[in-house]
Amino acid sequence: MRIVIAGGGNGGLLAAHRLADLADVTLIEAGADPGDPVPHNYLHDHAFPDADWDYTDLDSGRHLVRGRVLGGGSSVNAAAGSRGQPSGFESWGEGWQWDDLLPGLNAIETDEQFGDRPYHGDSGPVRVTRLSQSPLDEAFAAASRAAGHPDCADHNAPGTQGVGPWPTNRVDEGRWGALAAVAPLVRGRVTLRDRSFVRRVLMEGARAVGVEIEGPGGVETIAADLVIVAGGAYGTPEMLWRSGVDLPGIGQGLQDHPWLMMNVLARDEADVFARPVSGSLLRAGVADDPADEFQVFPFSTWLYDRTAPRAGYSVSVALMQPESRGSITRGDDDRGLIRLGHLATDSDAERMAIAVRKTADLIDAMADEGIVTVPDDAWWKTTDLVPELRRRVETYNHPVGTCGIDRVVDRRLNVLGTEGLKIIDASVFPRIHDAGPNLVTMALGWLGGGIVAADEGL
């Protein structure tokens, strides 16, 4: 059987890994395959102007980072290895709840601290670990404990909350996402076509029969018995539109975590750079419902913004179960017009205000200890907080849901009304869960590959 996978990010690479020995698989990636060993910048840097899709949120004008490179978002992200709460998947429905996803999460993972637990993996390609904590991480954790939050050694233990080290997919403090962990297992087992843009899926009536690509050798077609679209929450709707697949649900239901930075100055810049990424994380309920979670974590401002002072220290806060929805709509050139819609509902804005005030209390506690200095004009001190939140809100870069299950695909990931066409990426998430989509999308790729194998009798 000939299978074409259009997109080499987390979903596409893991599906290719699962299917490589069962079918004739061609994996197509618009960006480059940086090779093995992975170049230093793809392991450690946080700015990739040559490996980005250059998307913009039309609501705010802010740039939206999406990796145009083998490994997709996991090649350019902060390498968070968090799964989220089981409750975050309750609304996903039959076949896609926590107990259904857990085998995939375990299959892709080697957890270096907790791999012996039944809810973790100990032999998968993606290594998950917790890094040592800097003095600032320890001070943040102490302020969190003083505010009544418990210690949390494993943020991926089901049902846990509190403060503790980030779970991260890093090795020697470098990213260990799909590019570093999975691509070496796929090369040589599939036909890998990098630097090749999928212009469209070729359709004969309602059946997908291949793809048309534009690569270093020009425009060509590749025939297939099954096409798997894996372009991500922004790229997959665009690919479907270019292919003449124009279901009304495509691009609707866009979800992302609203995120805000509260910038202060550390007493000692050496403390900031003792651990610039993947340090301390606080997860807690906004109010009485623990499933309505917010996250807080501090990091070096300079790492992401080279105009910031080296003592800059950002304490960021995100709302993890937002109600607001955005969209990606079809532009004149089939380029998506993205509107994230952050804090569009009053409920989201009010709950984010609660989370910001709780975070401000933690910052004040650290300031009282002389660990950080809070600017006199700190924006979060305003008495009219909601308009300020809506003006400043940014993206956590966790877009999902633009081709959701039961709206654009069925529960076997088939595009509705078509044959031979599936989607395996974060665009199919029915609802955003309370963590970044990094690991869950990898698990979806693994499970989706298994669905293909079962459906096709491979």
- Binding-site residues for FAD, in ranges, read 69, 198
Residues 64 and 45: their CA atoms lie apart, in Å, by 17
User: Which residues belong to the annotated binding site?
Assistant: 69, 198, 396
User: Which residues belong to the annotated binding site for substrate?
Assistant: 396
